[in-house]
Structure 1
Amino acid sequence: MGQRINFIDYAKAIGIFLVVLAHTPLKSEITDWIYVFHMPLFFFLSGYLFDIKRYPTFNGFMVRRFHQLVIPYFLINLFTYFLWLFVFRHYGADSEIAITWYQPMIGFLLGNGNEMIHNVPLWFLLCLFIVEIVFYLIIQHSSVGKIGYILGFLALVGYLNYHYNPILLPFSLGTAVVGIVFYGVGYLCNQYQLLKNHFLGFIISFVITILVASYNGRIYMHINYYNHYLLFFVGALSGIYMMMCLCVYLTKMVKSTFINYIGRNTLLICGFHLMVFSLIKGILLFVFHFNLQSLEQAIIGNVLFAVVAILLCCLLISTYHKGKVLIDHVRNK
């Protein structure tokens, strides 16, 4: 069990690093490659960890995941929205965007990531909640042998919605249908132990992700946009397998509690890293008079920027946890 958790933590840690890196002004070719698989990877990992035996009742599962996903979704949204409203929208790129003060509020109430200009990545929390609730019902009312057929059907529904429905559904429902497929694949991979670590498979899957990124272009799951739908699945599944091979190897070769820590706090890093971006940029610009334009398409500069952002996020998370422990200690006296 410990090795499995390490394996998942490493995958989450590398995955969130790629998420953060993809939000820097990196070269478009690299960003396109990351977008091929980075969000499907997180749906897959969540499904891989799903165990209905831990949650014998649907209501118990829904309440727990509501506290873990939906409440943070609203709290982080409100916090970062007011920061954007009173500070960030008056500086930098946000100051040049014509948007009303209430539009981001409508966006996060409807779960529309495209409208949440103050914190777009938060769409994933609400979408994952919907994915998990629906998948629980699927598991509860279906045998494991039928899940593959259900996932195939949902992939078809996702295609029809993507191809024929021009309206972005509220609460990321369109994306959730596609996300369930990756979540279910992760669940089945765990149930049947389908993941086998092969170096040749790693190389082949890596090459496939590069080819798909080159041909299929940028993917935007938060607005349910996949370009060529079948190629999207080919690239995403190849990228997931590539990451699994890499992380199984790293788990055996490198032992790092810090990587595990990052892996266990990916949702908070997802929610706060753009706020930290603004903080770092402000310090670089106003304190050190650094030319932010020099980061455009700079690989090393943006990698360092992403690393610093994650470190600061971890510092904030650690401070929050220590403060929470202190408050609980005072209350219990």
Structure 2
Amino acid sequence: MSKRLDWLDIGKGLGMLLVMLGHADIPTPLKTYIYTFHMPLFFFLSGYLYNKDKFPSLKVFFKKRTKTLILPYLSFSFMAYLWFLLLNHFGLVNYKNNLLTPLLGSVIAERKSIWTVHSGALWFVSCLFCTELLFYFIAKIGRTKKAIGSLLLVTSVVGCLYNKMVGQPLPWNIDVAMISVGFYGAGYLFKEYNKNLERFNHLKALVLLLIVNLFTGYLNYVLTGERVDFYNSSLGNIVLFYLSAFSGIGALVILIKHMKKNKVLQYIGKNSFIYLAFHQKIVFFVFSLLIQKSIFNFESIIDHPIVEGVLFTLITVVILIPAVYIINHYFPFMLGKTTRKSMREVSLNAY
């Protein structure tokens, strides 16, 4: 991998840490801030890696994305389903519907429903597939950068209108995909205009963007009482939502481009799919259960939710290292790859 893309792995690693921290029991202000940009950031970074030449036809697109997104999504969803059955057997989950419903639900992929009670953060993967599919058509129809930008704007407006007027999650999270494609397309256009935008790659711009992100994110929450949350179809004020999201993305991009090579963040970034799949419904669930059973008494060690959330996140990073190794070496098909050599390409282009 060329050095110019190292920052993407670092960005995904940092973004994944924010995702895990956001799923921990942390104070509302911090959670609200993280949610202003952390999911848009992932769509943006994924869009940066989109290459139209790799998808000369819709058939090729489906063939490649079935291997790198759909099959991994179904593989990890099935593992999550087996875990769910185990928890249900021991009475650790309160689920009174047919136990085959979540299994079928992995195919339906409708978040926040009885269909996907087992899959947790995996909703993002199905949404990413639909986002890429939407952008594939937008790039084919638009052809020029200006036309692509206009189509992205129209699609995002339709997505926001649906979110405000209906708000019901759709199969494969197509409702969120109509919104997230704007961030995905922005990542693609950022790459196309990268040379012209490099003049903003300095710390003064970072501080300015960070201030805009904090102010608009806070104002959005205060005025609407809603925390930005794609999973729960919550955006708050649309204008403030986009201002806080794009300013947050801009600040993070400048930050990670100024960071030195960080092997830990790059490791997490390369294996973000595995961390996404396992951290919430498995590792965090076990942590919470152990605390409830007083096996782990965090309160006797620390007395601040932020510190507890950070500990949850960092311990999860370490605990999942064996799972990362086993899946990469013995079950590579779960990540859409057949050899270790193809790991980099799959990691970057699929997530």
TM-score range, shorter chain: 0.7 to 0.9
Contact 1:107–1:113 under 8 Å retained in 2: no
Measure, in 1, the Cα distance between the counterparts of 2:26 and 2:106. 27
State the Cα deviation string for residues 183-221 of structure 1 (Å, max 9, x = none): 001100000113531212211222222223323231121
| Structure 1 pair 261–166 and aligned structure 2 pair: CA distance change class (3 A) | closer
Contact 1:27–1:297 under 8 Å retained in 2: no
Select which of 267, 271, 274 maps to 1:265.
271
Structure 1 unmatched ranges of 5 or more? none
1:123, CA displacement in angstroms? 0.6
Say yes or no: does 1:247 pair with 2:250: no
Say yes or no: does 1:192 pair with 2:179: no
Select which of 242, 250, 253 maps to 1:233.
242
State the Cα deviation string for residues 209-251 of structure 1 (Å, max 9, x = none): 222332323112123321111111111101100110110011x
Aligned to 2:326: 319
Contact 2:44–2:187 under 8 Å retained in 1: yes
Measure, in 1, the Cα distance between the counterparts of 2:19 and 2:53. 31
Moved more, 111-120 or 290-299: 290-299
1:324, CA displacement in angstroms? 4.2
State the Cα deviation string for residues 11-62 of structure 1 (Å, max 9, x = none): 1000000000111101111011011001000110010111112333332222
Aligned to 1:17: 17
Say yes or no: does 1:141 pair with 2:141: yes
Q: Secondary structure at the match of 2:296?
A: coil
Count of residue correspondences: 321
Measure, in 1, the Cα distance between the counterparts of 2:28 and 2:215. 14
Moved more, 39-48 or 186-195: 186-195
Structure 2 unmatched ranges of 5 or more? 222-226, 333-337, 340-351
TM-score w.r.t. the length of structure 2 is 0.83
Alignment of 1:140-179 (within 5 A): 140-142=140-142, 143-179=144-180
Q: Secondary structure at the match of 1:222?
A: coil
What percentage of aligned pairs have identical amino acids?
Answer: 28
Select which of 213, 218, 222 maps to 1:214.
218
1:317, CA displacement in angstroms? 1.1
Contact 2:135–2:181 under 8 Å retained in 1: yes
Contact 2:213–2:248 under 8 Å retained in 1: yes
State the Cα deviation string for residues 62-107 of structure 1 (Å, max 9, x = none): 2111111111212211211221222268566x44x77664554454
Measure, in 1, the Cα distance between the counterparts of 2:303 and 2:120. 21
Q: Secondary structure at the match of 2:320?
A: helix
Measure, in 1, the Cα distance between the counterparts of 2:70 and 2:290. 32
Contact 2:298–2:308 under 8 Å retained in 1: no
Aligned to 1:304: 311
Q: Secondary structure at the match of 1:223?
A: coil
Alignment of 1:93-108 (within 5 A): 94-95=93-94, 101-102=99-100, 104-105=102-103, 107-108=105-106
Aligned to 1:52: 52
Measure, in 2, the Cα distance between the counterparts of 1:40 and 1:255. 23
Contact 1:13–1:262 under 8 Å retained in 2: yes
Moved more, 67-76 or 100-109: 100-109
2:284 alignment partner AA: F
Aligned to 2:345: none
Measure, in 1, the Cα distance between the counterparts of 2:256 and 2:191. 15
State the Cα RMSD in Å: 2.6
Contact 2:111–2:169 under 8 Å retained in 1: no
Say yes or no: does 1:131 pair with 2:131: yes
1:18 alignment partner AA: L
Contact 1:202–1:246 under 8 Å retained in 2: yes
Aligned to 2:284: 277
